[in-house]
A and B are shown apart, each in its own frame.
Chain A
């Protein structure tokens, strides 16, 4: 079967750096997405990786290793507003998105 694994919950301090890992086993690979979802709101797109390596976008970076079935989302200079769930999703060979359950990130002052 297809599987996306992420930690259920993480805690970090305002101003610090946090890395959220995602491992996947899917039938085919056509890209990996990270979304942010604040409580009670819709997911919003953060990043997309299809080739190995690091994609940087402001305070957020996303890394992909296709050979290891592994990605991480790196958040720098954490702010209280970064408290949210972070969803990892992989597009499979049928171009359908397979979603992880999400990582709830708690930021403490």
Chain B
């Protein structure tokens, strides 16, 4: 069972470059989320989507954009990476905003 898949697993990115983190789920979940996880801090919500065609800003959206063209895919784009965006990024999905979330395996991004 695939569940929710992220790519790449890890990446080193030069500052100023753009990059898209991919996220795909096969559970037909309506809601999808992007979080970043930094040492000593809780997971912080970057962007979310409650259903295909809609997106919303989370707690730390600046420097990131998302799209939700269909139910399965929820890519996260960094337009011009900065070192402070070095983090582990988790994509998650849930059947609705009222149920538990399932997480992808994470993308470890280092911006140098």
Is A bound to B? yes
Contacts from A to B (Cβ < 8 Å): 4, 30-31, 33, 41-45, 48, 87, 89, 91, 95-102
Tell me the complex Cα distance, A48–B98, Å.
Answer: 11
Which size bracket describes the interface of B in this complex? 10 to 19
Residues of chain B from 29 to 73 with CB closer than 8 A to chain A in the complex: 35, 40-45, 48, 58
Chain A residues contacting B74 (CB-CB under 8 Å) are none
Determine chain B's interface SS by DSSP, over half rule. loop
Chain A residues contacting B98 (CB-CB under 8 Å) are 30-31, 91, 95
Extra inter-chain contacts (5) besides given A87-B42, A99-B43, CB under 8 Å? A31-B98, A43-B90, A43-B103, A45-B100, A102-B42
Chain A residues contacting B42 (CB-CB under 8 Å) are 4, 87, 89, 98-102
Q: Are A41 and B97 in contact (CB under 8 A)?
A: no
Tell me the complex Cα distance, A41–B58, Å.
Answer: 23
Q: Are A95 and B40 in contact (CB under 8 A)?
A: no
Q: Which residue of A lies closest to B45 (CB)?
A: A96
- 17 CB contacts below 8 A, A to B, read A41-B106, A42-B105, A42-B106, A43-B43, A43-B90, A45-B102, A89-B42, A89-B43, A91-B97, A96-B48, A97-B43, A97-B45, A97-B101, A98-B42, A99-B43, A99-B44, A101-B42
- Minimum C-beta distance from B42 to chain A (A): 3
